[in-house]
Amino acid sequence: MLFDILGLWIALEHLLKTGEKHSSVIAPITNFVPKTLALDYLRRIIRDTVELIRRANIMLPPDIKDYLDKHNLEKFVTLMRDDTLCSLLQTKCSHNPLLKNRIDDMKTLLSS
């Protein structure tokens, strides 16, 4: 196990060599890895929300359905930032408290 961790560390150091002088060897890794993980988390939570809306079988107008493409998550971000369309989506999902809560959380997260 120790050799696996050491090998992973060496691989991370190799991937993150920038040619710049840093105050420590760990600085580029500690700056890069958390940002990468955060971006993946955001992508995953958006995709899961889109899939949750689709699985709920809610009768949505066609103009909202166009924004629910799990392969184009930017459309969903646009939907969440559009107050009119987002409020319509929230109204349609109001009978499902879990889904409505998820949409409210996503609107807050993506509006900032």
pLDDT of residue 18: 57
- Rounded to 5°, the CA angle 58-76-39 comes to 130
Summarised one tens digit per residue, pLDDT across range 82-110 is 999 999 999 999 999 999 999 999 999 88
Summarised one tens digit per residue, pLDDT across range 18-49 is 556 656 667 767 777 777 777 788 888 999 99
| Residue among 101, 98, 104 nearest 86 (CA) | 104
Q: What is the C-alpha R_g of the chain?
A: 20
Domain ranges of the chain: 2-111
The residue written with tokens 């890794």 in the block is: 29
Of 72 and 18, the structure prediction assigns the larger pLDDT to 72
Please say if the pLDDT value at position 67 is more than 60.
yes
Centre a 10 Å sphere on the Cβ of residue 73 and count the other Cβ atoms it contains: 17
Q: Please answer whether residues 66 and 73 qualify as being in contact, where contact means their C-beta atoms are separated by less than 8 angstroms.
A: no
pTM (whole model) above 0.75: no
